[in-house]
């Protein structure tokens, strides 16, 4: 199983590709302490966290390591969750929300440590991202910036619309803010780099090893039997880290995570035309629910992401859809072509927060990082690894965010209707606020 055609596959670092040409499929029977199901960043981070703590583990991936959303997303790395941090503060109280946010800050620092010495083929040299407001509401945006800085110790900087429009030549944007503590990644290189770290510390990683069945083994101590087509792993602990690709492997977890497709376009090299639209080195996202996010990569190309959908257009149609989204913001780039477009599933929860916990002794889950996964998958893997290795209870900070039912088998239809509703809400706010 090869990686889908994307910017990330096209720019895989030769050293990283050589480290991971293809891990063999599981053959035969193995005994270990922990079996992790899923080779995205959540599973890889769990394996690395366990290996760093000296805990033997086996990871089983149905396709390739980083094959899903972990290796083909927008590549934006910053603290926080898909759920608005100020909403968390209102719901949970500031102290609890601060603890949760602090866990993402620790994970951000851990990511920086893990890529140290490998920055050149993993992260953009310029740090910081811009959130541009689609709505004419400077007072509301200033309030958000002030509250984030006060409650969560952020150092967001308000940008007036004159500065935003000087850097991003579009009338779609009003004011915005700059987030200096933010990175942009070659996501697949990062996933494979951390997988190599885990392997070097003793973790066993297997690709092309789809799990077909998980059974509890009765005995003096609880154990688990995890079966693939060609082998079996017996372990004291099992960790489900499949998220949007869980399918029907575990009914309760599957009913609590919604696979939602999102899309990315890589444009042709734009040369001097790029400066007619973008005159800033930072990554950008707007503040709609149905937002665009983009950054400059490679040879003056735009990596343009957005949309949430249950549909799966052909690549040719997807190039057209995403190109039209781009031109709705930057019409001066009319005539540019897309080199490649791709999509894939992310796992979303009903409450827009990660789902971390234990169903029964030794049966763990680490899923639903959609929309803000680069840091939170590292956080989730660390929390589950620490819980298994040392009984660290910090994962219980997420107990308020349970396995809420997402409406399967009708979940994708419900999600699409909700997405359309959010689009209408964005349009309503724009008409009300933008005079």
- In tens digits, the chain (435 residues) has pLDDT values of 689 999 999 999 886 554 544 568 999 999 999 999 999 999 999 999 999 999 999 999 999 999 999 999 999 999 999 999 999 999 999 999 999 999 999 999 999 999 999 999 999 999 999 999 999 999 999 999 999 999 999 999 999 999 999 999 999 999 999 999 999 999 999 999 999 999 999 999 999 999 999 999 976 678 999 999 999 999 999 999 998 888 889 989 988 888 888 899 999 999 999 999 999 999 999 998 778 999 999 999 999 999 877 667 778 889 999 999 999 999 999 999 999 999 888 888 889 999 999 999 999 999 999 889 999 999 999 999 999 999 999 999 999 999 987 765 555 666 666 666 666 776 666 677 776
CB-CB contact of 133 with 286 (8 Å): yes
β-bridge pairing 231-240 and 363-367: parallel
All structural domains of the chain, each given as residue ranges with its CATH number in brackets, are: 1-11+23-120+184-257+349-404 (3.50.50.60)
Task: Give the start-end residues of each E strand in 127-174.
Answer: 129-132, 157-159
Look at residue 314 in the predicted model and tell me its pLDDT.
Answer: 79
For residue 240, report the phi and psi dihedrals to the nearest 5 degrees.
-90, 115
In this prediction the pTM is 0.94
Cα–Cα distance list, 67 to 64, 237, 346, 420 (Å): 5, 24, 12, 28
Q: What is the DSSP letter of 168?
A: B
From residue 13, alpha-carbon distances to 8, 32, 265, 298, 374 in Å are 9, 32, 20, 13, 19
Tokens 């949309």 -> residue: 307
**How far, rounded to the nearest angstrom, does the alpha carbon of residue 307 sit from its chain's CA centroid?**
15
Helices (H), 300-372: 315-329
Looking at residue 21, its pLDDT comes to 45
Peptide bond into 247 cis (omega under 30): no
Please report the pLDDT score of residue 131 as a whole number: 98
Instruction: Single out the residue of 112, 130, 109 nearest to residue 185, CA to CA.
Output: 112
What is the pLDDT at residue 248?
Answer: 86
């Amino acid at each position: 199983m090869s990686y889908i055609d994307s910017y990330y596959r096209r720019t895989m670092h030769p050293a990283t590709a050589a480290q991971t040409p293809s891990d063999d499929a599981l053959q035969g029977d193995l005994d270990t302490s922990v079996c992790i199901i899923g080779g995205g960043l959540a599973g890889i981070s769990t394996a690395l966290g366990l290996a760093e703590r000296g805990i033997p583990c086996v990871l089983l991936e149905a396709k390739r390591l980083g094959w899903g959303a972990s290796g083909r997303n927008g590549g934006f790395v910053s603290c926080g969750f898909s759920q608005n941090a100020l909403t968390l503060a209102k719901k949970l109280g500031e102290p609890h929300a601060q603890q949760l946010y602090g866990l993402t800050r620790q994970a951000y620092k851990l990511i920086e440590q893990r890529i140290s010495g490998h920055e050149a083929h993993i992260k953009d040299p310029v740090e910081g991202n811009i959130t541009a407001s689609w709505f004419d509401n400077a007072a509301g945006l200033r309030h958000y910036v002030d509250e984030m800085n006060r409650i969560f110790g952020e150092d967001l900087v308000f940008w007036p619309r004159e500065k935003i429009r000087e850097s991003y030549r579009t009338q779609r944007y009003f004011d915005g803010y700059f987030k200096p503590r933010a990175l942009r990644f070659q996501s697949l290189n990062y996933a494979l780099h951390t997988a190599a770290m885990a392997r070097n510390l003793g973790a066993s990683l297997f690709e092309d090893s789809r799990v077909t069945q998980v059974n509890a083994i009765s005995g003096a101590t609880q154990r688990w039997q995890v079966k693939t087509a060609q082998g079996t792993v017996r372990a004291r602990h099992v960790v489900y880290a499949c998220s949007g690709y869980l399918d029907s492997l575990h009914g309760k977890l599957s009913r609590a995570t919604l696979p939602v497709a999102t899309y990315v376009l890589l444009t042709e090299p734009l040369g001097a035309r790029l400066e007619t639209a973008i005159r800033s080195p930072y990554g950008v996202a707007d503040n709609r629910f149905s937002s665009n996010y983009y950054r400059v990569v490679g040879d003056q190309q735009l990596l343009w992401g957005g949309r949430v959908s249950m549909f799966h257009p052909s690549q040719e149609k997807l190039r057209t859809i995403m190109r039209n989204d781009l031109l709705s913001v930057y019409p001066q780039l009319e005539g540019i072509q897309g080199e490649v477009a791709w999509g894939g599933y992310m796992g979303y929860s009903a409450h827009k927060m990660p789902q971390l916990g234990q169903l029964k002794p030794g049966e763990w889950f680490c899923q639903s990082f959609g929309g803000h996964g680069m840091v939170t998958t590292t956080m989730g893997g660390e929390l589950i690894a620490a819980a298994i290795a040392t009984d660290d209870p910090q994962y219980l900070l997420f107990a308020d965010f349970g396995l809420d039912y997402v409406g399967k088998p009708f979940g994708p239809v419900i999600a699409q209707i909700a997405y359309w509703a959010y689009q209408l809400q964005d349009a309503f706010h724009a008409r009300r606020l933008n005079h």
